[in-house]
Amino acid sequence: MSIFRGAGVAIVTPMKTNGEVDYEQFKKLVEFQIEGGTDAIIVCGTTGEASTLTHEEHLEVIRYCVEIVAGRIPVIAGTGSNCTQTAIYLSKEAEKYGVDGLLLVSPYYNKATQNGLYQHFKAVAQSVKVPVLLYNVPSRTGCNILPETVVRLCKDVENIVGVKEASGNISQIAQLAAIGEDVVDIYSGNDDQILPILSLGGLGVISVLSNVAPRQTHEICNKFFEGDVAGSRKLQLEALNLCNALFCEVNPIPVKRALQFMGMIDGTLRMPLTEMEEKNAERLQSAMKQYGILK
């Protein structure tokens, strides 16, 4: 059974001006998402700045998220690492908190062969019982999980159920769908490719856009599932300019600035991420106004 269907938000981790995690604002963001119809919360992923959280912070954010969501929608925790033992540790701890699933990014920097990826993901997934999604984002990791490797893992490891595909390579994703034999749940990892991936049999998106437009992102998926492909396409295309603006600097710099524009968060980013350049902030603000989420 799939962990979720529709639009899951890759939620930001708000920080105070002193750099500490702001749990009060985090709770407000979660409630905003649930009220907006988001289908799942993905916590401590790329957008959640997991790479600069300490292990203790990382796990506390996951625990707190599960606590405040309180079973209303699924919570999926990012627990991947380029160190297999670290990924196992984070995954086992997150499972204790009651997460509904895990998101495991491919090993970065040290990379791996396809066999190495297989052994890594297998070892981590077999250390827990909750469902696992792989996360393929070669632009950040320098490592591409090939379709054959994804299918092999989903067939061989019972609780590996699918993949967040953020390669941007539609041909590769089509190949994955073609050979997946109904054993791979595919989620878009790019907000500008939600509809194309749904059309290939995808189940939804793990979304940055949802941070600022949860209802609209949900509806891109929902209309498609209801058979209103034209309506889904219209919403996808209407969001394109904002999607591009949200990635005009490295994620999550723009989406955090967008949430500041909306009065949802204040605070800061953690180094090495820096504040958005003003010309890009103006572009983002203009796109938000055009989209109707700012006056």
Q: Quick check: is 135 catalytic?
A: yes
One of 164, 187, 223, 256 is an active-site residue; which one? Answer: 164
Task: Tell the residue number behind the tokens 């790329």, with chain if given.
Answer: 46
Does the annotation mark 164 as catalytic?
yes
Cα–Cα distance measured from residue 40 to residue 4, given in angstroms and rounded to the nearest whole number: 7
Task: Give the span between the Cα atoms of 43 and 2, in whole angstroms.
Answer: 18
Cα–Cα distance between 136 and 276 in angstroms, integer? 26
Give buried/exposed letters for 10-38 (b at 16+ CB in 10 A, else e): bbbbbbeeeeebbbebbbebbebbbebbb
Nearest 5°: the CA angle 184, 59, 41 is 45
Measured CA to CA, the distance from residue 235 to residue 256 in angstroms comes to 23
- The DSSP secondary-structure symbol of 21 reads B
- Rounded to whole angstroms, the maximal C-alpha distance in the chain is 51
Which one of 135, 187, 256, 291 is the catalytic residue? 135
Structural tokens at position 249: 């600097």
Q: How many CB atoms lie within 10 A of CB 263?
A: 7
Nearest alpha carbon to residue 42 among 248, 217, 234? 217
Short-list 106, 100, 282, 286, CA closest to 189: 106
Active site residues: 135, 164
